[in-house]
Amino acid sequence: MRNRSLLIAGVLLVATSTIGAAVQGAISGPQEWWPGHMFGGGHMGRWSDTSRSSSPIEGAQVLVVTATDFGFSPAELVVQVGEPVNLTLVNEGAVPHDLTILGLAVHVEAGPGQRVTVGMVPEKTGSFDILCTYPGHSDLGMTGVMVVRDSG
């Protein structure tokens, strides 16, 4: 009887661990989106491309995006290729958010009540998806698009 109880307990432990790992994977999404991400970082530097996000650029156009729980305003940004831009994320939500522009190597993260600015110079035209990479946030509506137009 004791051996059977130990066997059942062992099977339940393995099953619980397996289910927990599957649930965590479903919540966190594909690893390529936010490696090591646990509400606070671990995914910075993941997106490398021809554009750069860095410290604010003196004299650059300023775009302000407000993050709430759970959306971006405005959800569409339009800029010119080759023109410096300062992108400011204002987090009016109750939880941390980030703004990541896929394909342009732009990532800015702000905690509740914070305002963070990064500089960027888009070096290619097109439409680029914007999303919050915190698990589940984009599914709840934290998405948008940046349109980079030809300056000519």
pLDDT digit string (tens) for the chain, length 152 residues = 677 766 665 555 445 544 554 444 444 443 333 333 333 343 443 333 334 468 999 999 999 999 999 999 999 999 999 999 999 999 999 999 999 999 999 999 999 999 999 999 999 999 999 999 999 999 999 999 999 999 87
Distance of alpha carbon 85 from alpha carbon 72, whole angstroms: 18
Distance of CA 40 to the CA centre of its chain: 11
The three-state secondary structure class of 56 is coil
Tens digits of per-residue pLDDT, 48-58? Answer: 333 446 899 99
Q: Is 76 exposed, middle or buried (0-12, 13-18, 19+ CB in 10 A)?
A: exposed
Q: Supply the pTM of this predicted model.
A: 0.67
